[in-house]
A and B are shown apart, each in its own frame.
Chain A
Amino acid sequence: MDKQNTSPRGKGRVKTLLRLVEGSKRFFIGGILLAWLTSVLDLINPKIISFTVDAVIGNETASLSRWMQRILEKAGGREVLRGHLGLIALCVLGVALLAGIGRYAFRVLNVKGQEAMLRHTRNLLYEHIMALPLTWHNRNHTGDIIQRCTSDVDVIRAFLSEQLTTLIRMVVSILLSLGFMLTISPKLTGIVAIFVPLMIGFSYVFHKKIEASFEKVDAMEGKLSAIAQENLTGVRVVRAFGREAYERERFETSNEEYTGLWKHLMRLLSLFWATSDALAGLQMLAILVLGALLCLREEMTAGGYIAFLSYCGMIAGPVRMLGRVISGMSRAGVSIDRIRYILEADREVNTRADKKPQMTGDICFDHVSFAYDGSEEKVIDDITFTAPAGKVTGILGSTGSGKSTLMYLLCRLYDLEEGNGKITVGGVDLADMDRAWVREHVGIVLQEPYLFSKTLGENIAITDKDSSTQSIQDVARIAALEETIEKFSKGYDTFVGERGVTLSGGQKQRAAIAQTLLRDTPITILDDSLSAVDAQTDAKIRKELDVMHQSTRILISHRITTLMHADRIIVLDKGKVVETGTHESLYAHNGLYRKICDMQSPEGAMTHIPA
């Protein structure tokens, strides 16, 4: 199971990312443009201040550029401004207000982009997961998939809205600063030009190296999360066996291991941060000393030296940050891969033609064999029988004899492999039909019914939101659910809780039956759906079904009383059909059916015929 879980790596990452930002790109791009505008605005205030300090308060008009001197003249000269310093302060505020608006707009755009991306990505994932075949779902743990859909998506969000935008902004501001530096001293810029690639290269190598550690941490987190999840779902078993201490130890051990992995990773990360701090510091040191020497050799002015140092300080932050951002990117790369694992899994496809025939004919299983993905063992072995149209076919079979699998095949939850027989409805091969068409026309009540965390009424009408109250009440009555519903204070509006936890097993089964009845499908399957209801209710439901429904019905049960009135009864054992007939013929035949029948009769129950 875990082998398939290792995500595909590498090249498709960018393509996937582009797919995720479909519809939100414009927000991110707009945000970055505004961010640049804001940074430019941010540069204006320091200029105004240095101008004020040098030329208005101080008296260094000579050092001003011609452009600046013109502004000074236009404003009425130094003396006027000296008397109205408040005006300059207002200018500063005005610029700050503009920058503030820009910054606000940039961040809001960024949030909008991020949310649009999240919404799009979640929808994509959910929709895709719905369309993935059951074999895929069997292979993957629920907890793991949920983790991919939540935490991994969040890592990508952080990458796009925090790291990538910062990266782009920083690269631009680094390049701008380098340009300014070049005009001051090419020699010193040379030194900077050595350090910058060194630091970026170091980041890159590092981020490659820790990628594997991140994957390990993620896998461990999944494991820990699964332990908690299982403990919670199996809480009744844990308590009943008094195994709390064992569970605690299991959780704590994994927790310790997980913490240990993180600790190792954080140690590496701390080392990385410190090293990039050191590199930035060394660069500053080199500039400080060499710049001073250049000044002494009169190759540079003191003003130039100060400016160069301040530019150097300006890029130190971004270059350092670049390391962090890139290290964060490795995380995003892993997460993108983990999401690709879902998005690039093959959806259920219609292999052949898309026929949409009437589904009211005989259902024929013709030499059907089936083994689950990755298993040698045939669950169904060369099964042939016909379920006549409009009639009731009963299936009796031992535990694990492949009854449910047979029905899954009929719903096309799994597809038959070439050469393993075929299933036809009214003479048309199921494999030639449109898959959705098949599912829409085959109503199956699953052995373990699943209810959604909605109200009871909504659950019954899950397939058709617009069904009338009358029709919902009708099917509830047929499914013998009416009395139960009357007992609930909120009736049909009773919330059933996650997976229907607030209902008993029998109530869930009957709700699922009502759900299927409402669909009014030409083929209806009850897969041991009456096991948790008592015999009386069972009989009542079947009676109602006979009156109401003329569909082709297949009943799977262990109870003879459930099956005995079926028009045809199939007895399965170990994946093979062993007997076929009516109750009378099978009873007379004196085989497995008869044996079971005797065991379940009151006499049998009381005399304990050994198996």
Chain B
Amino acid sequence: MEKQEHQTLPYFGIPKILKYAKPYRWKILIMVILGVLSSLIDSIYPLFNQHILNHNLAEHTADTLPMIGIGYFLVLAFQVWDNYYSAYMCSRMELWMNRDLRNAAFNHLQTLTFDYFNRNSVGYIHARVMSDSGRIGELFSWHLMDFVWSGSYVVCVMVVMLLTNLRLALLVLMLVPVATVIVTIFRRRLIAQNRRVRELNSTISGDFNEGISGIRAIKTLAVEERMNEDFRKDTEDMAHASIKAGRTSTLIGTTVSFLSTVALALVLWQGGKLTVEELMQLGTLSVFMSFAIGIMEPLQNCINCLTAMTTIQVNIERFSRLMETESCVTDTDEVIEKYGDTFHPKRENWEELEGEVNFEDVTFQYPDGDEPVLEHFHLHVPKGAAVAIVGETGAGKSTLVNLVCRFYEPSSGRLLIDGRDARERSQLWLHSHIGYVLQTPHLFSGTVRDNLRYGKPEATDEEIWKALKLVAADRVVQKMDKGLDSDVGEGGSMLSTGERQLLSFARAILADPRILVLDEATSSVDTVTEKAIQTAIKTVTEGRTSFMIAHRLSTIVDADTIIAVRDGKIVESGNHRELMEKKGYYWELFTRQFADVSVDMAMRNE
């Protein structure tokens, strides 16, 4: 998980988000105007009472009552419309912002390279897409609206007060900076506390995730009690941290409302004196007092909005950190100009890919690695050749294919594809011509057909069956209840690992790639099936360049070039015969693997 440096963005981080609000600036403006109107109307209503009291009741006449009724009705009708429309606008604002932010985050993620996904957990990234966006959307709709509503009311009241009695007004307004200082101090504490709460919150989500996705392991290890215990500890920490944060925010709220009462008391004391000395009218005093009370709630609303902003600031920080994460592999502008970007490919400019791969003095070090995995490496793979990569567990066999697929780029040296530097063409162009079958196959929820068509959406059922037969996966699909329409479950959970490997193999074949990468593609498949696939691979790789990573050496003896990797370094390369004659590392691996069987058979043959 990415360690987050706690840098704080200026202005609550809002400048970072403004560009997402920009398309809606006019709508936001209308929303704000409607909000101001609504709070103005709220201050009109008392005028009706005043008129009835001063005119109708004082002069004992009902003459203007019908007019009052009609006027009141009209104002009410306008305000109801205003409220409806502003609430509707506000909710749309929220939804649109949410949608745009989610799309932006999701789309940005599609351009990032694997090291980002290796560094950050799925849960963490998922929260950036799904929840940060929502919180930020709220800021630009409901919080903004609340702020406008309350803010305009507070400002109106202040203006009226200043106009009515300057001295008394200043006395009241003196308290505003006091309130601001106190709130600022508490706020700083609150931000830190809220951060802790959020961290714990994601820990708890992570716990749920682990408990649910790891249920098989938990049950078979019989560690339910331990897991429960750990979880209870996390929820306890969470409760403590949240109560702490709750105390602070409550303290802010109560302090502010107490300060408002201080204002009221000041008015009563000083204003009362003025009135007693007949320097001020009783009516003015009562207006002032009602203002001192009335200003309390909106002021607090404003403060609440500020508090909300500080919490949302954290979301903005995390969201913008994601958006600012740059991919380690990017296409240059010229390349994008010609070949299009990830989402807008210009397929008409794409060349065919022949499949010749050339490592030219390549040195490579993983971004988080300590030392280079490859140093001054040269390898020429002609079009249509089969390259096998063998070596012990964890020796770094995937590195080469990661470079061929341009999931990473060489630290120095060049990787040529069809004689041209891989960087001269777009990533999508390359990926569209590569079929990659992973050791841990991933299927998407949906039907078998959806999954197989993933690399070639327009594939017909006939083509699908052909691909399935080729990798001996037709049997798997035939025995499923609904054939191609069968559901594979979340991540393919309805199928065994071997079956998933077969389907993902078929998926790659169906896409008809020029370069085929098989990363332990059949490690969980039974021998008979694997043998069948072996024969198929020969057909499939005919005319395609292929890279195979394998444990079972029996599967790769026919490869044109075999590369033996040890401790992250390439120690040998050549074909099976050459390497066997050399009696080096490969020979050692090969004979060891078959020693058991050979000895046994030798005994039997006697």
Contact = CB atoms under 8 A, between A and B. Distances in A.
A599 B343 contact: no
B226 A504 contact: no
B15 interface: no
B220 A413 contact: yes
Interface stretch (B250-258, B375-383, B414-422): B250-258
Contacts of B504: 237
Top 3 A-B residue pairs of the complex, sorted by shortest distance between their CB atoms: A605-B554, A111-B246, A242-B431
Interface string B442-455: 10110000000011
A392 B442 CA distance: 33
A283 B84 CA distance: 19
A17 interface: no
Contacts of A497: 1, 121
Interface stretch (A188-196, A290-298, A328-336): A290-298
Interface string B504-542: 100100010000010010011111111110110000000
- For chain B, give the interface size range: 35 or more
B493 interface: yes
Contacts, number: 500
Interface stretch (B25-33, B162-170, B264-272, B313-321): B264-272
B254 A57 contact: no
A247 B114 contact: no
A158 interface: no
Given A558-B526, A564-B597, A505 B222 contact: no
Contacts of A278: 76-77, 80
Most buried by B among A150, A239, A516: A239
Interface in B190-248: 204-224, 226-228, 231-232, 235-236, 238-239, 242-243, 246-247
Nearest to A104: B254
A292 B211 contact: no
A399 B217 CA distance: 21
Given A146-B209, A292-B62, A537-B392, A238 B258 contact: no
Contact of A88 (B236, B268, B393): B268
A263 B91 contact: yes
Given A274-B84, A501-B118, A604 B235 contact: no
A53 interface: yes
A53 B282 contact: yes
A398 B530 CA distance: 10
Contacts of A470: none
A57 B224 CA distance: 73
24 contacts: A49-B289, A57-B272, A85-B276, A100-B261, A118-B242, A119-B239, A143-B490, A145-B208, A232-B117, A234-B444, A236-B114, A269-B87, A273-B84, A285-B76, A292-B52, A292-B68, A446-B216, A463-B221, A533-B393, A535-B551, A539-B596, A559-B552, A602-B590, A605-B557
Most buried by A among B344, B497, B499: B497
A142 B49 contact: no
A245 B393 CA distance: 35
A232 B214 contact: no
- For chain A, give the interface size range: 35 or more
A273 B83 contact: yes
B597 A601 contact: yes
Contacts of A251: 102-103, 106
A343 B565 CA distance: 52
B109 interface: yes
A63 interface: no
B268 A49 contact: yes
Contact of A531 (B251, B392, B444, B524): B524
Nearest to A483: B394
B238 A439 contact: no
A130 B227 contact: yes
Given A1-B487, A274-B80, A528-B524, A107 B342 contact: no
A126 B69 contact: no
A262 interface: yes
A73 interface: no
Interface string A233-274: 111111111111111100110011011001100110111011
A131 B218 CA distance: 10
Interface stretch (A172-180, A199-207, A221-229, A355-363): A221-229
A309 B72 CA distance: 15
A375 B597 contact: no
B312 to A, nearest CB: 16
A20 B538 CA distance: 62
A71 interface: no
A103 B236 CA distance: 26
B205 A237 contact: no
B553 interface: yes
B328 interface: no
Contacts of A168: none
Contacts of B154: none
B262 interface: yes
B239 A115 contact: yes
Nearest to B492: A234
A311 interface: no
A82 B217 contact: no
Contacts of A292: 52, 56-57, 62, 65, 68
B73 interface: yes
A413 B247 contact: no
B96 A252 contact: no
Contacts of B251: 104
Given A228-B126, A309-B49, A465-B226, 14 more contacts: A57-B275, A119-B239, A123-B232, A236-B442, A238-B110, A241-B432, A269-B91, A270-B85, A281-B76, A377-B479, A411-B220, A446-B220, A533-B551, A558-B526
Given A251-B106, A292-B52, A535-B592, A234 B442 contact: yes
B125 interface: yes
Contacts of A610: 531, 535
A138 interface: yes
Interface in B5-51: 45, 48-49
